[in-house]
Chains A and B, each alone.
Chain A
Amino acid sequence: MEQIITTGNKGKGVRSDCFMTFALKDNGGLEIVLESKVEVMYGNANRKLAREVLDFFGIRNAVLKIEDSGALPLVLIARIEAAIKKQISSSKEFLPDLLPQNQNSTEKDRSRISRLYLPGNTPSLMINAGIHRPDGIILDLEDAVAPDKKDEARYLVRNALRAIDFYGAERMVRINQGERGLDDLEWLVPHHVNLVLVPKCEKPEQISDVNKRIEMIRKKTKQKNPVWIMPIIENALGVINAYAIGASDNVVAMAIGLEDYTADLGTSRTREGKESFFARSMIVNAARAAGIQPIDSVFSDVGDMEGLKQNVLVSKALGFDGMGCIHPRQIRVIHENFAPANDEIEKSMKIVVAYHKATEQGLGVVSIGTKMIDPPVVKRALNTINQAVKMGKLKESWRENYEQV
């Protein structure tokens, strides 16, 4: 019985994507039908590429219809591969070239102030995500992908990890819950994913399962890069277990998801957020105790920049190091308001100058005038200055000018 398979997206508003209709045949050879918005420019290239993928998987007789709305090659081949693998089982993978800039690993304590969520099955939003300069991008295989699209999204996310330039953003993926999530890792770990977000995390065992699977895949594929983990705490049990979760291996940051959490509490999310005060503080405390970064929930009204700003200021005051974004326009507001305030920077500059002076003179104690500065205060000032430099609020060479004053 001939089975007709479809993958991808089409219709009004769909851009940079394609829709495949695929059927294996008993005879008749390969028939490729292409309807493309960019026929003049890329019609021939697309037909050639489609044939290459079919040949690669040894498909001899099939009909493949491609409705193309300007998909990049990495999208086109992901859609075709996903369609083929719904029909035949193969351990082969048709991979796009790996960009040199997508092979790097990231530091445990790198800045994670902003991380931009991108639906894992929507290529148009991925292609330009990096130009908005978030600290990290999250290709989301979980809630942002419809259940019947979850398989094909894996191929797209894998290809995106390899072939889309995110301009220095940390490459993160949110995996699914449970077994599906562990299987997701097969599409990610060999392809230099930097960090994996584990949703609905309530027990440290979930993290060790993820760690085990990652280790297995790393060994199998000789992947050298570390894969960091960011659990997302989304219910009461998770909040109670936050420290144990945060202290698990390879966990570098812990986020809170307030929509599910408030539902679990039997309340609803308010703008002031009193209902989540405990949970947020708990996450901050647990994360600090575990030596990792506490990350706040997303702000879901993408049109309300002033509301976002207020939310960020509260978040920062509670002790969070960053926040998720669901729209690129949120990135700047989050960066600007998580950034150290000007008076904070000025105070820190004084302390850092005093610290360097003390170090140069071999003094054990840092002091300004007659006032001694405690080591944690110095550490905090150094952090503030680093952050200010990173965010462009201060020149890296600021001390040269500062000491002249």
Chain B
Amino acid sequence: MSKYDKLLTNAAGRIVPTIINGKPAIPYMGIEKFKPTGRKAAPFISTCADYPDDGNKVVESLKDALIRSGLKDGMTISTHHHFRDGDLVANQIFDIAKELNVKDLVWFPSASFPCHEPLAKYLEDGTIDHIEGSMNGALGRFTSKGKMKGLGVLRSHGGRYQAVQDGEVHIDIAVIAAPTSDPFGNSNGVDGPAACGLLGFALADSQYADKVIIVTDNLVPFPCIPWQINGNLVDFVVVTDKIGIPEKIVSGTTEVTKSPDRLLLAEWTARFCDEAGIIRDGFSFQAGAGGTALSIGIYFADILKERNWKARFARGGSNKYLVKMLEEGLTEYILDGQTFDLEGVRSMRENPHHVNTSPFTSYNYHGKGNFASMVDVTILGATEVDVDFNANVVTHSDGYLLHGIGGWQNCLFAKCTILPLPLFRDRIPVIVDKVTTLCGPGELIDVIVTERGIAINPLRKDLIEKMKNSNMPIKTIQELKEEAEKICGVPEKPKFGDEIVAVIKWVDGTVIDSVRRVIV
């Protein structure tokens, strides 16, 4: 089986395969163009007759659970990334697979982290055929060099739910690391030594996988309250010593930036939102976990406080700053997709206004609406933006896969999407003629805030009108690009081979772009 076949040019002008890892795929057709028909996937019918009446599903070990789940060649194994760089479970699965001489597995994580680098050896020896999820750091370089056997598939958090729900990805075994669980499999992320807040990224896995294994280091007697994962969906519960490294679970970028340049970006972004009339009593926002994004939240809070306003809801990634806003009454709710620090975990545990959400509620594009499009303003990052406002979040300027998509694509559907970006990073301009990898279509990206000027997408005539008399440095994106090139020089492009090593899915499951092998 070849990795991919039958290339076509999609609606964004990108060449993409229509056969991926032996399965058919639909090329991107444009925003809101592809409308699926048919019914959702469904799991097998189970019967209580096959499960213990006393509710005790505890088995001896992860190996035992995997064997009982029928682990075999070619299966798709899923994990979640709520433990971020402190995950101790995912690697174990493949250690066991290797030991059992199982081959050609598909790893389907909701994201990968540097702690998963050891899996590169299983990609080399054929234990894992390919990854569908995110390929960061060493795994990204591995993939970009064309060394992965199968074709990598990158999806957004919402796209992951959509793919499972639509039957595009069938999970054979879901391994869900859970900070607290009861023997029945009811589990949550708010309690226990590896507390990570919630388990929303594992929701689809629990609902649709053939077999569901909970791995915990904090077993409590039935009932585990709250249950974020429903025990009725669980096959086996495994108890181990340690499932995650707490310092690494709640690390990430949870401090506001001290960089004066980034603070300036944050300040300008908040001021832009204010002058454009986006901030108002009862508005809603989403800001990511990066240092700049955190600072923007703080500037928002200042503005709200000064006017005696409050946000109706803030979308998380939650952290201590957002929690402070909630507790000071500057936002009525936090709708949280992942918690970035212990304050976020505490707040979610204690405060009913701090609500755990999932990619189903927040992001799934094949649902009857989702939360992302109801948000007034969302603040996101990017590695590159082009003069048509298209953006890239997965490949670095040297062409290597670097990041996953996360919720980024899904968030583009907010009423206003702003990317605060330094105009150049260590001489590398951020605005280019054409993005290396297309992850988000320019139609959905409204404003680019840089330290040397702000570009508004010409499609947003309303925003341009509102900022007509502003003192802020509004420029065209072309002007910004030229300004950067005047300072840095015009960069050369990385050299790519013809071979495709991964594809980027759009939120509706269509293929928006291909990532090509980097020629070193």
**Is there an interface contact between A328 and B494, defined as CB atoms closer than 8 Å?**
no
Chain A residues whose C-beta falls within 8 Å of the C-beta of B451 in the assembled complex: 128, 131
Among A38, A69, A165, max chain B CB count under 10 A is at A38
Question: Which of the 9-residue segments B114-122, B412-420, B484-492 touches chain A?
Answer: B484-492
Among A39, A42, A71, A327, max chain B CB count under 10 A is at A42
A41-B397, A41-B491, A131-B452 are contacts. A72–B427 as well, Cβ < 8 Å? yes
1/0 contact string of A119-140 vs chain B (CB within 8 Å): 0000000011001100000000
**Is there an interface contact between B492 and A44, defined as CB atoms closer than 8 Å?**
yes
B261 on the A face (CB < 8 A): yes
A60 on the B face (CB < 8 A): no
B471 on the A face (CB < 8 A): yes
Q: In whole angstroms, what is the CA distance A68 to B242 when docked?
A: 43
Chain A residues whose C-beta falls within 8 Å of the C-beta of B452 in the assembled complex: 131
1/0 contact string of B419-439 vs chain A (CB within 8 Å): 000000111100000000000
A72-B427, A131-B452 are contacts. A42–B264 as well, Cβ < 8 Å? no
**Is there an interface contact between B492 and A70, defined as CB atoms closer than 8 Å?**
no
- Smallest CB-CB separation from A328: which chain B residue? B260
Minimum C-beta distance from B268 to chain A (A): 10
Q: In whole angstroms, what is the CA distance A275 to B398 when docked?
A: 57
Minimum C-beta distance from A51 to chain B (A): 16
Q: Which residue from A41, A71, A165 sits with its C-beta under 8 Å from B492?
A: A41
1/0 contact string of B469-482 vs chain A (CB within 8 Å): 00100000000000
A180 on the B face (CB < 8 A): no
Minimum C-beta distance from A44 to chain B (A): 7
B263 on the A face (CB < 8 A): yes
Q: Which residue from B260, B264, B398 sits with its C-beta under 8 Å from A40?
A: B398
A72-B487, A73-B489, A392-B471 are contacts. A42–B427 as well, Cβ < 8 Å? yes
Chain A residues whose C-beta falls within 8 Å of the C-beta of B426 in the assembled complex: 15-16, 37-38, 69-70
Among A39, A131, A329, A392, max chain B CB count under 10 A is at A131
Minimum C-beta distance from A142 to chain B (A): 23
Chain A residues whose C-beta falls within 8 Å of the C-beta of B398 in the assembled complex: 39-41
**Is there an interface contact between A45 and B261, defined as CB atoms closer than 8 Å?**
no
Q: Which residue from B260, B425, B427, B492 sits with its C-beta under 8 Å from A329?
A: B260
Chain A residues whose C-beta falls within 8 Å of the C-beta of B381 in the assembled complex: none
Q: In whole angstroms, what is the CA distance A327 to B425 when docked?
A: 20
1/0 contact string of A363-405 vs chain B (CB within 8 Å): 0000000000000000000000000000010000000000000
Chain B residues whose C-beta falls within 8 Å of the C-beta of A392 in the assembled complex: 471
Q: Give the total of B residues in contact with A, Cβ under 8 Å.
A: 21
B440 on the A face (CB < 8 A): no
Q: In whole angstroms, what is the CA distance A42 to B427 when docked?
A: 9
Q: In whole angstroms, what is the CA distance A241 to B491 when docked?
A: 55
Chain B residues whose C-beta falls within 8 Å of the C-beta of A132 in the assembled complex: 260, 264
**Is there an interface contact between A40 and B427, defined as CB atoms closer than 8 Å?**
no
**Is there an interface contact between B488 and A72, defined as CB atoms closer than 8 Å?**
yes
Minimum C-beta distance from B203 to chain A (A): 40
A41-B492, A70-B427 are contacts. A327–B397 as well, Cβ < 8 Å? no
Minimum C-beta distance from B425 to chain A (A): 8
Chain B residues whose C-beta falls within 8 Å of the C-beta of A329 in the assembled complex: 260, 263
Minimum C-beta distance from B479 to chain A (A): 14
Q: In whole angstroms, what is the CA distance A128 to B488 when docked?
A: 13
B399 on the A face (CB < 8 A): yes
Chain B residues whose C-beta falls within 8 Å of the C-beta of A15 in the assembled complex: 426
Q: Which of A34-69 contact B (CB under 8 A)?
A: 37-45, 69
Minimum C-beta distance from B216 to chain A (A): 39
Chain B residues whose C-beta falls within 8 Å of the C-beta of A128 in the assembled complex: 260-261, 451
Q: In whole angstroms, what is the CA distance A71 to B427 when docked?
A: 7
Q: In whole angstroms, what is the CA distance A91 to B445 when docked?
A: 53
**Is there an interface contact between A131 and B489, defined as CB atoms closer than 8 Å?**
no
Q: In whole angstroms, what is the CA distance A38 to B428 when docked?
A: 7
Q: Which of B260-278 contact A (CB under 8 A)?
A: 260-261, 263-264
Q: In whole angstroms, what is the CA distance A245 to B494 when docked?
A: 58
Chain A residues whose C-beta falls within 8 Å of the C-beta of B397 in the assembled complex: 40-41
Minimum C-beta distance from A15 to chain B (A): 5
Chain A residues whose C-beta falls within 8 Å of the C-beta of B493 in the assembled complex: 40-41
Chain B residues whose C-beta falls within 8 Å of the C-beta of A41 in the assembled complex: 397-398, 427-428, 491-493
Chain B residues whose C-beta falls within 8 Å of the C-beta of A39 in the assembled complex: 398
Q: Which residue from A37, A45, A69 sits with its C-beta under 8 Å from B489?
A: A45
| 25 pairs of residues in contact across A and B, judged by CB atoms under 8 Å | A15-B426, A37-B426, A38-B427, A40-B397, A40-B399, A40-B493, A41-B398, A41-B492, A41-B493, A42-B427, A42-B488, A42-B491, A42-B492, A43-B492, A70-B426, A72-B427, A72-B487, A73-B489, A127-B487, A128-B260, A128-B261, A131-B261, A132-B260, A328-B261, A392-B471
- Using CB atoms and an 8 Å cutoff, list the residues of chain B in contact with chain A: 260-261, 263-264, 397-399, 425-428, 451-452, 471, 487-489, 491-494
